Amino acid sequence: MYKKLIAALLLFACLPFQRSVAQDHALVKLWQTDTVLKVPESVLFDATGKVLYVSNIDGQPWEKDGKGSIGKVGLDGKIISVDWVSGLSAPKGLGLYKNTLYAADVDNVAVIDIAKATITKRIAIEGAQGLNDVSVDNTGKVYVTDSKAGKIYVIDQDTYTLFVEDLKGLNGVLAVGTDVYAVAAGAFWKIGADKKPVKVAEGMEPATDGIEQVAGNEFLISVWNGVIYYVKADGKTQTLLDTREQKSNTADIGYDAATRTVYVPTFFKNCVTAYTLK
């Protein structure tokens, strides 16, 4: 009886430790590109094309100077083309739907034919102050944030309408099914069909930037100045990466769910770094 009691106590004592290990995650570095990109702000994984698209701001972050471009990077970290598509100004967020790439470019969304590597049109949003992130849902609707105005617009068949407003510090957006997620000033929001933002998580560094879904109600959120968080289903957060001391930014991240690879544009470091999510 005594031996059974001791064994049970030992098993019970081990359970919290095992549970905490199961809940912890980590990022393990895979590779880093050459530092030839031009202030990369966003990276997008294309599962069909097996390639990464990277937005190069190059010039001033909000100037319509025509210096910006979209680059292509292989999944092995080798640069395919720094200026795959040129003629943009300060491109940031990227979205993909079938054979079309969308890029937020200051006050308009550039529509890019991937096969032709050309900008086919621009969807100008009247009064836009600083378009930032882009996400496309499974029906082809394009959501784009205006960080300076705290608004999210939705583009459907080249026609835009206001989706939500009054999100101070707004940056990243992610469409998942019929829901839209956004980050604003260190908080993570979920927006349903009623268009009313509901807070999912808070307390993160204020310069929240990119959002990627890991699975279900678990997400990755990047902070521009060098932090990446794992947001758990209960809204609790875990810091996965902190490169602030190295002055390496973590801007609008990309994610390959099949291989659990996180792609991080480093902004002023002019490269993309890949990590495996454990």
The CATH number assigned to the domain holding 265 equals 2.120.10.30
> Could you identify the residue written with the tokens 């009623």?
194
* 241: pLDDT strictly greater than 70: yes
Listed residue (252, 201, 245) closest to 224, CA to CA: 252
**How much is the pLDDT for 23?**
54
Count structural domains, the chain: 1
**How much is the pLDDT for 13?**
42
Which 8-state DSSP code applies to residue 90? S
d(CA 61, CA 154): 23
Whether the Cβ atoms of residue 90 and residue 61 lie closer than 8 Å to each other = yes
Q: In this structure, is residue 11 part of a structural domain?
A: no
Tell me what the mean pLDDT of segment 232-243 comes to: 98
Q: How confident is the model over 124-149, as pLDDT tens digits? A: 999 999 999 999 999 999 999 999 99
Q: In this structure, is residue 119 part of a structural domain?
A: yes
**Both tokens assigned to 123:** 């969807």
The amino acid at residue 144 is V
Tell me what the mean pLDDT of segment 56-74 comes to: 96
* 229: pLDDT strictly greater than 80: yes
Q: In this structure, is residue 8 part of a structural domain?
A: no
Q: In this structure, is residue 225 part of a structural domain?
A: yes
Q: In this structure, is residue 173 part of a structural domain?
A: yes
* 99: pLDDT strictly greater than 80: yes
Q: In this structure, is residue 15 part of a structural domain?
A: no
Q: In this structure, is residue 139 part of a structural domain?
A: yes
**How much is the pLDDT for 158?**
94
Quickly count: other Cβ atoms within 10 Å of residue 235's Cβ: 13
Instruction: Give the structural domain span for 200.
Output: 23-277
Q: In this structure, is residue 254 part of a structural domain?
A: yes
pTM exceeds 0.85 = yes
Structure confidence at residue 56 as a pLDDT band (50, 70, 90): very high
